[in-house]
Amino acid sequence: MVYIEGSRYIPLYGRDSTVVEVKDFEMDIYPVSNLEYGDFLKKNTNWQKSKALKLFTDKMYLTNWKNDLQLEASALSNSPVTYVSWFAAKAYCECQGKRLPTIDEWEYAAMADETTKDARVKPEYNKKILDWYEAPRSNENTIGMNAKNAWGVYDLHGLVWEWTLDFNSVLITGESRKDVDTDNNLFCGSAAINATDLMNYAAFMRYAIRGSLEAKYSMKNLGFRCVKPVTK
């Protein structure tokens, strides 16, 4: 894990006066791999492919696993684990004494490029992310091949999408942005009205996919990593 020093920042769905405080936390340097998830399955048999409850997984859960403990021949052990539901990802992190990152924690860490901790003002930063989104993607790419960002974290962009703890809360309530009341302007297309940066298409795409998910869904290009709060 790597230490992320918290600060105050304005997220995509905020207003000029809406500043969110992110407290210090530690984040996994890499997304969770197939190998690591396989070790989890050995110790937590209730999350194995044939035993996982349908309440917490869909029919796509661990599609690229041949059986409960074996990957398909085409799947690589050092690729990010995908085809895992939010429930499964949450259980994995908790077994490590960690948790999934919140949207704010993930976005805060991911707004860094290789040299700058807030690279959102750089046109080339968003273009690079959008180019990745537009290109055909594979969940069989090797972890750690992309450059690490200024925090020392790899693959927040350029490999797979990642689950967050409150993945769809921005489309349901303003609570995750420290608002007191539900903000109806966060629904559907009207959400853009209150966006702080209408040119940040890369962030819009992340919010769009989060809003389309349900916790039991599993997808080819959706993985996860864990975080841990820093106690002082």
Whole-number pLDDT of residue 36: 98
Per-residue pLDDT, averaged over 148-170, amounts to 91
Higher per-residue confidence, 227 vs 210 = 227
Contact 114, 177 (CB under 8 A): no
Whole-number pLDDT of residue 197: 62
Band the pLDDT of 174: cuts 50, 70, 90: very low
Band the pLDDT of 178: cuts 50, 70, 90: very low
Q: Which long-range contacts (CB under 8 A, 24 or more apart) does 47-53 make?
A: 47/88, 47/91, 47/92, 52/88
Residue 2: both structure tokens together: 């790597």
Packed helices 123-134 and 201-212: angle between N→C axes, nearest 10 degrees:
40
Express each pLDDT in 97-146 by its tens digit.
Answer: 999 999 999 999 999 999 999 998 888 888 888 888 777 655 568 999 98
Distances, alpha carbon 171 to alpha carbons 103, 168, 187, 189, 204, in Å: 12, 6, 5, 10, 12
Per-residue pLDDT, averaged over 54-60, amounts to 97
Q: Which of 9-13, 136-140, 199-203, 207-211 has the lowest mean pLDDT?
A: 136-140
> Residue 65 pLDDT more than 60?
yes
Per-residue pLDDT, averaged over 199-210, amounts to 75
Q: What class, spelled out in words, does domain 1-232 have in CATH?
A: alpha beta
| Domain residue ranges in the chain | 1-232
Distances, alpha carbon 144 to alpha carbons 26, 156, 230, in Å: 18, 10, 24
DSSP string, 171-191: GT-SGGGT-SS--GGGSGGGG
Whole-number pLDDT of residue 50: 97
